[in-house]
Structure 1
């Protein structure tokens, strides 16, 4: 392995970023390079090579690409890899989705160009690069080496190593080395020119409010866009304002589920069935509380638990006794049958509720044991209690607002 590649891989492994790789048609050597240098587990979360007549690619993208070797497919692959990286990592870890899709030399003569498309997605932006290779100028393995160097360069840029990335020699042919295409194809470029584009999204919360992304997560100084994580512990709320009871409840929930701090997150919905969408300014004010406190928060447009369960499958939602009572009221579903259907569907998605005790209107401390569940919901594991010994807090955001505690201006 070339020393320049070894040195760059070492630099990449020394950054905190973790990545998922999807490579198709070429670029697979980069996986060997990454795994050959000690420290690969600090960078590589997962790598897949989708082949098999297109079925594997369709599974990754959740659709059949119109063209496999093109910029659009490379970007879609990188975004899918990014979402998988979120699923495989803890809150607060910087993540990347990296992709490569190619049409390279094979065991038959290609009519079209030999080409490489690479993309890296970090949530806020997508970098894509492409190059058409001179046909007949290299063997298949050498073309794959060019593609692999392009992937490594894109990964390094995504890790913040821009100067080192630019210094990597991609092995492209310069104009003075070109004598035309070996097969006389007039469409072959006069030289191999790398073309790069960067596409950034707008204000993430505005994108969420306008429905272009499903979630915006703030954790560990990272902003994770449109990558809802499955199988976590979520504490939903309006957080107006955030208080110590919220923090203690999430900690107790994680202890009850025997999960690490990196598996739990607060969840704020900017949508309300009665009030509509929250303003951008108000959403920013509520988010600012968590950023300042260094606490993980995911913002969605999912006000109902049925919607949250579709977004965060196999997850546990932490609620209070009062919310549990409302959750099983048929009037909110248009009848008991609909209620049972909705809640059992949530369970089939692998979701459940962890319920903390709360004071009722008569100032009596009530727990899930005081809730009379309909018989079809009793034995499906939908509800679990947090013990009073582990958590009890009688403070509420409503009481704090009544005492004049309000959110600071952003």
Structure 2
């Protein structure tokens, strides 16, 4: 697609008809973005401010834009990145911002919606002349793709507002591409401007490697075909190793999510363990196949601890057995420090997360939530699943033992 304007006119000499056409194309692109199921987080610094107005002024923005942050000062950008970049306006910073935005979008998105992280950094014209180029970099990140565009604008050809408009057009194009919707040429570049694009794609193995390495916080496999549940913003999560997945797991999650309005039921496996080596990519894929066969959604994360899972899935309800509940409130697992236990669980509570507790055998005796002394400040975090709804004493360990796998 040729983005250059070969008419010979300067940008400020655009006719009224051309302005109207551009406005129409911008609105059409925004409407196409809003009609897609994708949800996005945007981190922008140094330009592309008009794009936010375009996105927010067209109906449907609330279904697309999860969050937009403008870390405009250098210190704000440093705090967001967690480091001092070698150069603030660079391709690397745009890609870093896009990856941060992508992980943020994963945490904020509703259930199985595809998410996009968008990063932009620019060095456009200002009040005083700049010695360096007027340029910008925009990057978009999805689960399986990373796209980046770099543009160097001809100095002295446009006002700051016009440069911001061009950068906004490229940002909108990046979002449209990530949403896989048509993006008609709306960029007002001239022959003297320079632009380049690059794209990287990731297969499933690479996505899982990124997750294990901590680059991406989780990956969802939305195998469930329950369209009603997928509309829920709250997740009901049963975490475990699921080696193997068995009928007890399925019935426990079914019981936990049986009440009206409970949320979107899904399983979760941490690829990273607290006291074991991380799962291999092949091990993860083998376990995921179990959920595909039964049509149940599973999330692969890299957080083995519940207080960290709560940060990944704010507002969720975690389904646990009574044996796990008793460990959660035992100071032994917090370096023997009762206050530390309270502090961590109160922080977990502040994310809006709760625990749904099913009965389990504890030291050979069947126990339910009511058998334990929950600290008063934490009681409203825990809700019992009655034995009438669910009781099954089988465990994955026993199944592996019966199969001669231990």
Q: Same fold (TM over 0.5)?
A: yes
User: Is contact 2:331-2:341 (8 Å) kept?
Assistant: no
Q: 1:118 to 1:272 in 2, by over 3 A?
A: closer
Note the alpha carbon deviations across 1:154-184, whole angstroms, 9 max, x for none.
Answer: 11110113xx33x41411111xxxxxxxxxx
User: Is contact 1:18-1:85 (8 Å) kept?
Assistant: yes
* Distance in structure 2 (CA, Å) of the matches to 1:251 and 1:73: 44
Q: Which runs of 5+ in 1 are unaligned?
A: 175-190, 223-229
Alignment partner, residue 11 of structure 2: none
Alignment RMSD (CA, Å)? 3.3
> How many residue pairs are counted as aligned between the two chains?
370
Q: Shift in Å at residue 379 of structure 1?
A: 3.6
Alignment partner, residue 15 of structure 2: none
Matched, 1:19 2:18: no
User: Is contact 2:358-2:387 (8 Å) kept?
Assistant: no
Matched, 1:341 2:340: yes
Alignment partner, residue 172 of structure 1: 189
Matched, 1:199 2:219: no
TM-score, normalization: structure 2?
0.78
* Distance in structure 1 (CA, Å) of the matches to 2:49 and 2:274: 48
2:70 to 49, 53, 60: 49
Alignment partner, residue 263 of structure 2: 260
Q: Which runs of 5+ in 2 are unaligned?
A: 1-19, 225-232
Note the alpha carbon deviations across 1:205-244, whole angstroms, 9 max, x for none.
Answer: 23344x243543224369xxxxxxx985432112133244
User: Is contact 1:215-1:298 (8 Å) kept?
Assistant: no
Give the alignment of 1:179-328 within 5 angstroms.
191-201=192-202, 203-209=206-212, 211-213=213-215, 215-220=217-222, 233-254=236-257, 259-261=262-264, 264-272=265-273, 275-305=276-306, 308=309, 316-327=317-328
Note the alpha carbon deviations across 1:125-156, whole angstroms, 9 max, x for none.
Answer: 22110111000011111111110111111111
2:389 to 379, 387, 391: 391
Q: 1:60 to 1:381 in 2, by over 3 A?
A: farther
Alignment partner, residue 163 of structure 2: 143
* Distance in structure 1 (CA, Å) of the matches to 2:116 and 2:223: 15
Q: 1:114 to 1:271 in 2, by over 3 A?
A: closer
TM-score, normalization: structure 1?
0.77
User: Is contact 1:115-1:130 (8 Å) kept?
Assistant: yes
User: Is contact 1:252-1:386 (8 Å) kept?
Assistant: no
